[in-house]
Chain A
Amino acid sequence: QVQLVQSGAEVKKPGASVKVSCKASGYTFTGYYMHWVRQAPGQGLEWLGWINPHSGGTNYAQKFQGRVTLTRDTSISTAYMELNRLTSDDTAVYYCARDHGISNAMDVWGQGTTVTVS
């Protein structure tokens, strides 16, 4: 079945960087864009950007431009999200989510990775 499995929880110091992985299975990894979305404690969903696994092309939300980098390794069907210069405001659950392909929705989500900055 289609599945996205993310790496485990992280605790980082302010000013550090974090890199979260998202391993895809059950479908052709290069056939669907991958989005990254985060959710701060008690807050709503916030879109960070997407990566085209086929070309490596990326598109970032303006808020995170220059601080987030999305990459992928097609040999192991894995997408990565790296966020730099962390502050306490970056404490959140980070999700990867597959683009629906038919629409611009997100149809499959990873289980989430908790990043704590403290």
Chain B
Amino acid sequence: SYVLTQPPSVSVAPGQTARITCGGNNIGSKSVHWYQQKPGQAPVLVVYDDSDRPSGIPERFSGSNSGNTATLTISRVEAGDEADYYCQVWDTSDHRLFGGGTKLTVL
């Protein structure tokens, strides 16, 4: 079965750029979606179809996807961006699959 691999944690200083990866076999051929989840809250969709943003999501959030790695990039990181981030793809038989999640720490 398909597996999505995310680093458990990423740390970045305020104002810098955070990059969170999501690895999978030929993931570039799939559409990847990204969710932000803050403690005690439901997830929020921040990027869909690799690089599109829902309305209300800041332009600081962007995505890319090629080869075996999809990447969520957060520019000019703020303290409020500290959260868990999950990637998600469509899997065979119209199922959905999540990565294990990455905890973003703002130093």
- Asked whether A and B interact, the reply is yes
- A105 near B33 with CB under 8 A, answer yes
Within 8 A of A (CB), among B57-90: 86, 88, 90
Q: Decide if A111 is an interface residue (CB 8 Å cutoff).
A: yes
Q: Cβ of A109 < 8 Å from any Cβ of B?
A: yes
Distance of A96 Cα from B90 Cα, bound (Å): 17
Task: For the complex, give the distance between the alpha carbons of A68 and B86 in Å.
Answer: 24
CA distance A95 to B33 in the complex (A): 17
- From residue A97, how far is it (CB to closest CB) to chain B in Å? 8
Check A59 against B42 for contact (C-beta < 8 Å): no
Considering only CB atoms and an 8 Å cut-off, how many residues of chain A contact the other chain? 22
Contact with B along A39-75 (1 / 0, CB 8 A): 0000011110010000000010100000000000000
How distant is A82 from chain B, measured CB to nearest CB, in Å? 19
User: Does any Cβ of A come within 8 Å of B97's Cβ?
Assistant: yes
- Chain B, interface SS category: strand
Measured in the bound complex, the distance between the Cα atoms of B48 and A106 in whole Å is 9
- Bound CA–CA A62/B94 (angstroms): 12
Asked if B33 and A47 sit within 8 Å, CB to CB, the answer is no
Determine the interface band of chain B, counting residues with CB < 8 A from chain A. Answer: 20 to 34
Alpha-carbon distance between A59 and B94 when the two chains are bound, in angstroms: 8
Closest to B88 in A: A105
Query: Interface residues, chain B, CB within 8 Å of chain A?
Result: 31, 33, 35, 37, 42-45, 48-49, 52, 54, 86, 88, 90, 93-101
A contact residues vs B (CB 8 Å cutoff): 35, 37, 44-47, 50, 59, 61, 95, 97, 100, 102-107, 109-112
Shortest 7 CB-CB distances between A and B: which pairs? A105-B33, A109-B42, A105-B48, A104-B90, A44-B101, A47-B96, A45-B98
Enumerate 18 A-B pairs (CB-CB under 8 Å) in ascending A order: A44-B86, A45-B88, A47-B95, A59-B93, A59-B95, A100-B45, A102-B49, A103-B33, A103-B49, A103-B52, A104-B96, A105-B49, A106-B96, A107-B45, A107-B54, A109-B42, A109-B43, A112-B42
